[in-house]
Structure formats: structure tokens, C-alpha cells
Structure 1
């Protein structure tokens, strides 16, 4: 649901009633991940998507019904062997959809509003909602912030709120969205519970070092992929807003010095396009020792070998060098800055998702590498 926070915030500000359908769990070749959402307002306007088109019509009807009767429902959609054109996922997957009405008088509305507002501001927050359990609890929500403060609750037992808050905080810290199962004793309501925890985190960072023409194209690709993009170069004549209008930040500083002082995390992507030893070596020595998601460096194969030798002379180990994607990008035969940016972006996606980078035509590898059915996180008994 938080993936359409901007639109839903606008609806809330306009006082609209709506119902939101959220993907809770997926199996097989399902097209959307848990947390993807479609919402329908009282006038029938729809935003978002839960399946890429396969079951949108049926989910739309469920949202309209939820607005009428005020009931939160859980529905499963899957492939129909008897009729591939029946309501279902003809790609062979299965998705579970939670449909929640959000009307003016619904008690969950203030909690969802707070979660959507946080997501809209780019703040970190986790929203936990009961998917299955006693009928009176389904759809209830708890908002958990990084500082431990919470809003809302499930109304069953304070211990349940504390248990879910702790687990939601762990998922938020990892930037993950997923399901959580709590056993009968732990739920404190006489029945097991399944919850969906959606994490809203600030966009991951892409830092592009080297204010060259290829960098301008890569900035646009990075923004398209949802990164917060910074361009860093020591030369003020090149690192300008005119040359990089799409960048979120432009920093004029020696690259390694900037990397030493700026914040990075396990989702950060570092793209070194300077291919100049005086910049590359101190920068990569630092970069390869940071717990970031990706480090890539531009240059010919000869430049790559020379750079690796210089890095070894500076104490960089072979294990650290193995983290370096160099020459940067996938082999697409790229020539232009835009084609090169596409090859770099494709490698970043493949590295993040576990893809091979080979053509899907004739291949037998999964299309959605991280969409395979994953077991829900299970909680033991809570004393």
C-alpha cells in the first residue's frame, strides 16, 4: 500500500473514502511483490496495480464491495487449468490479496493516514496489519517508527502489540516487507495470527563519481530506478547543475574524501566513472571496504588490470577486489552514453535481484528471482 502513498495521501486530504487491495503473499511466477496495492475510491476511480493486469478487474470489484459493506476480506487468485482465461494469473502464479475499506468512520483510517504521510515524506516506518485471525481483528493496524514509537494497535492484548512492534522494527531495519506469523499463545487472542508488515524506507542512494557525459545518462537511469542520486567530482567546471539537472545532489570534492564523510548503507550503489588513477585508487580502496550493495568502475580491460595492480599495492586484498564490477556494466554492445547507462543499470538490477544477465529466450531460469514463495516469519510462544 505504501507504494502508492502519494496518491492515497491526496485522497485522504480530499476526504475521500476508498478501499485498498494489497498483495500479502505470492507464489510461483506472480508479477507483483508483497506490498503492491490497488485502491478504488467511492466514485470508482482506481490507482495502482496488484497483478500487472491479470486480476485487476476482480480486485476492483472486491474494493467496490468492501466500500459498501465495510468488511476486510482476504482473497486468493491463481491459475485455472480448466480455463486459462478465467479470473486468475495465467502466468501460473498465486497471489493473496487483502482488501481493506478506509472510510471516514473506520478506526483503521488514522493509522493508515499516519503511515501514508510518513511514506510520502520519505520517512522510515513499518505498517503491520492483521491478514488472518479472529474476524474482529482482521485489517487492524499498528504503525512502528525507527525510534520505537507506535500508533494504533490490535486491541487484543498489549503484549501482542509489543511483540509485533519488535518484529516490525526488525523488518524495517532491513528495509523488508513480508508476512509474520504468531502462534496461538503469542497472539494472546486464542488463535494464531498472520500479519503483513510493509516497510517504508528512504530511497537507496546511488553515488556517481565522475562528472562526464556517461554520468549524465546514468543519473537519469538511476532516478528511473528510484535511487536518490548524487554526482561527485573534484572539478567544479564539470560538476554543475546545468550538466546534471536530474541529480538530487551535486558535490564538488575529491571523491575519496566525500565517501569518507557521507552516509552509506547496505542498499547504496557506487559507480566510479572517473577512470583516472589519481581518483580511482583512493576511492576504490575505501569503497571496497564499505558494506554497500554494489561497487562498479568504468574503464577498458587494460585499465581494469592496471587499476587492480595499483589497488593491490595499496593493500587491497583479492577478496576485496572480488567485490568490484569492472569493467562496469553488462555486455550489451553499448556505445552511446545512454546505452552504457542501460548496461550499468541492468547489472545493478541483476546483482540486486540475483539475475544472470542472460537472455530469457530459451533459458530455464526463474523470471522473478526474488518472487519465489518464502515462508512467513514465525514467532514462537511468548511468555
Structure 2
């Protein structure tokens, strides 16, 4: 017999009731989320999620951003099993970029219309709070218009340990040096068993969330992510969502939820991406229904492909992320999808939505209502930047 009275018929009625309640804005439980994730018909699930999206954003606009992911070092002591980017301290392929190089990269991004910089890197054993303060201050002095949406809870923990200061002190000093908001980097999966399996040296999921909660309390908002497909169960996927929603209930500081899929090349974890396209799309839809307290939902074209990214716009997503002028970390593990501004605009428009360029706060900068006025600049495109620039030091 299935769930509820009447076996399969009872389960079907229960699923319909959950989808209807969620579509109308009602809260669903983790148990209900697991049921619809695993058992709801795909079209009904996507339809309910799209209903929530349309109610939240009746203007029919879907957004994108122009930014650059800049890596300041690949030296890292955390050694996550899924990461193909890091090198251990003293490794001959380890490198560090100096502040002048980072500022130059920011200038290149500004020239191409970027409004946001995601500064990220390994957990270098010698990088304490002073290094980040110097770097952020230099970037802000040169380009005050750039939003520094950078680092994440894992970097805060590393800085705190390296500098012998509290998490709160680290966040305040980063904020005062120019950090505008935290990226959702390092969340991976917050559920204990799979997180320990893929990142045993990284802080536990509840600690990651506690850092973000502290940041939100100090006025530094963030995004939150989910890397799915490393061998976690369906229940563990939903548990990841539950942990996030509980913090969001208290802080309201997560601006968006960004799920993406594990890339299996060139790392110690290996294997394959254990999340099918349908599993990914279903997770996007469930997230839109479950996160009644998170405003935005971003689909990933980088790890799933542009066509799947476009499909997320029919499963509750209201944002297609970044043109991504530079990205090295995920691409090192096998992500090979590339796009440009014109293509992202086209993907959004052919999905029946109105494209708009946004900033980090999701404010619309340019709404592309008239296709004849679409911007054309072949340089505004994603690419995998060479790391073969002159390096100031190796460690």
C-alpha cells in the first residue's frame, strides 16, 4: 500500500494537496518536500513551482549579472576531495597573485561592464585577516563602484584560525575593508554524512551556517549554494534545504539559493555526477516551493548546460546567474559550458521571459524589452582564464 488512505490513490491526493498548498504560498514540511521530490509528476511539480515564481515576479522578468570570479591563490590546506583546483602548500604548481594583479583584473572586468567581483581562492596557510583587508581596500580604492561579493563561511573560519581572532571580528574587519556580501561558496552539502565524506577537513555544515548567521546579524548578507551529485541520498538533499530554511527564518540574510551539480574530473573523489538532469530540475522546483522565505532562485548553466539552465526558468528559477567573465575552479573539475551576454539574453527571451541585467542586490540595471536594442559586445563572454600570468610567489 502507498501513503495515505487508498494506497496509490491516497498518495496522489496527498501530493496534489501539497503542491496546491505550496503553490498558494503555504509552507511545506521537509517530509512533504521529500515526497514531492521523489514522487510528484514532473509537470505538476514544475507547474506548482512556476506558479510561485509568477506570483513573486509577475513582471515576467528573469535576470542575469556580469561578474568575474577572480582566484587569488590555488594553495589550500582544506584538500576537499571534489576539488580539482587546489594545490597543497609547497606544491610546485602552487601560486599566489599579488594585489596589483588582482586590481588589474578588476579593471578589466569594469571595462566589460561587470558590476560584481567574486574573489575566491584556496585556504592559504599564511593568509590572515591583514592580507584580505589590504586586498579589499585596494580594490575598493581603485573601483568603488564594484560590489565585492566574495569569500564565504569557510574562508571566514580559516581567517579566524590563522589570525587568532573570533569569527565575528573577522567578519567586521572584512566588512569594514570593503566586503559587501558573502558568496555561498563552501556550502557544498551541509548534511553531516555526505559533507564529511567529500570534505573531511572543512567545517561541519552547522558551523558553516552559524558563520553565515553571524554575518547576517552584522549586516553582511549572502547567497547559499548546493553542490548535488556526490553520492548523497534524496533525504540528505532535502535535509540540506531544511538546514538553510531554519537559518533564513531567523536572519532573512540569504538573497538567493543556487544549486549546481558536482563535476567529477581531475579530483580525488572521481566517479561521475550522481545527479541526473531530471533530479536537478526536480530539486530546483522543490527548492522554489520549500523556500518560502528566500526571494531568488538561480539556475546553473555552467554545470548542467545552457539548455538545462533555460529549463530551470520553467521550474521556478528567476535568475540565470552570471556571464562569468572568468571561472577556473569548477571548470578545472570538468565544467566546459560557455556562454556570452547575447546568448544568455536569448535563452531568457526564448523561454518566454523578459531578460534583465541585474546587480548583486537583484536590482534591474537594464531591461531588454526590445530585441533590436540588445547589447552586442563579443568580449562579454565566459572563459576559462589562463593562470600562466607572472606570479609573485609560489608556496
TM-score normalised over the length of structure 2 = 0.25
The structure whose residues are more often helix, as a share, is 2
Q: Which has the larger radius of gyration?
A: 1
The structure whose residues are more often strand, as a share, is 1
Bigger relative contact order (CA 8 A; separation at least 6): 2
TM-score normalised over the length of structure 1 = 0.26
